[in-house]
């Protein structure tokens, strides 16, 4: 298979107590073959973006972080290659034609405030949101005395999961190097 990646990370200090960081990832793959699986990937493309802003040493908190992200993946595959036909000879016997496509994205944010005391104790509280949207189509046809159907779809219908939450985490140094971390998230 062919795989191409691009990764970009940029960051700067805006002041002695604030910074910003941007990350971008692009992945592009073609010709991915999966032995023993019904479909191979003809192409896959992923783009991911992340932006983080950090404040430190504020009157109201030792550290404040605001982060947002967006990721999008799409792929298209099929079961029509000659190597796939060698693995599954029944495909030729029933004149099987199959293709699949996926569209998936996730986005969200995280806001957190932290109070700490020199690697001895820290308390972090915050809120976040995760939004996941996805869809998969698997369209197949076959024609033979044993099987006959046209453009049948076995999909995962377009769906969305929206998950807002609040979280808390406490870290305490028990005995060097032992530390206890306790936390939870409600959504």
Is the entire prediction scored with pTM above 0.75?
A: yes
Higher-confidence position of 85 and 146: 85
pLDDT at residue 177, as a whole number: 82
pLDDT band at 113 (very low <50, low <70, confident <90, very high): very high
Q: How far is CA 121 from its chain centroid?
A: 32
pLDDT at residue 99, as a whole number: 96
pLDDT at residue 119, as a whole number: 73
d(CA 51, CA 46): 17
Looking at the predicted structure, is the pLDDT value of residue 45 above 90?
Answer: yes
Task: Give, as one character, the DSSP assignment of residue 54.
Answer: E
d(CA 12, CA 32): 38
CA distances from 1 to 31, 32, 43, 99, 100 (A): 5, 5, 10, 18, 18
Higher-confidence position of 119 and 80: 80
Please check whether residue 69 is in contact with residue 50, taking contact to mean a CB–CB distance below 8 angstroms: yes
Nearest alpha-carbon partner for 126 in 43, 63, 37: 63
Looking at the predicted structure, is the pLDDT value of residue 76 above 90?
Answer: yes
Q: Output phi, psi for 99, to 5 deg.
A: -145, 155
Q: What is the pLDDT of residues 145-183, one digit of tens each?
A: 888 999 999 999 999 999 999 999 999 988 878 889 999
Number of Cα atoms under 13 Å in the Cβ half of residue 37 = 11
Average pLDDT in the 99-119 region? 95
Per-residue three-class SS string for 117-173: ECCCEEEEEEEEEEEEEEEEEEEEEEECCCCEEEEEECCEEEEEEEEEEEEEEEEEE
Q: What is the pLDDT of residues 122-153, one digit of tens each?
A: 999 999 999 999 999 999 999 998 889 999 99
């Amino acid at each position: 298979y062919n795989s191409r990646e691009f990764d970009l990370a940029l960051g700067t200090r805006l002041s002695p107590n604030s910074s910003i960081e941007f990350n971008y990832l692009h992945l592009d793959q073609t010709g991915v073959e999966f032995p023993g699986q019904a479909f191979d990937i003809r192409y896959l493309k992923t783009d991911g973006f992340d932006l983080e802003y950090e404040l430190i040493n504020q009157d109201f908190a030792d550290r404040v972080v605001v982060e947002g992200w967006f990721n999008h993946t799409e792929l298209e595959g099929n079961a029509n290659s000659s190597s796939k036909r060698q693995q599954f000879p029944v495909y030729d016997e029933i004149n099987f034609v199959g293709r699949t496509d996926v569209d998936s994205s996730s986005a969200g944010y995280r806001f957190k405030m932290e109070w700490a005391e020199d690697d001895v104790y820290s308390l972090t509280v915050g809120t976040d949101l995760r939004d996941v949207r996805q869809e998969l189509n698997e369209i197949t046809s076959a024609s033979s005395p044993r099987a006959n159907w046209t453009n049948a779809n076995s999909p995962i219908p377009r769906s969305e999961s929206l998950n807002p939450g609040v979280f808390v985490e406490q870290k305490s140094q028990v005995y060097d190097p032992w530390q206890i971390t306790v936390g939870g998230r409600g959504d």
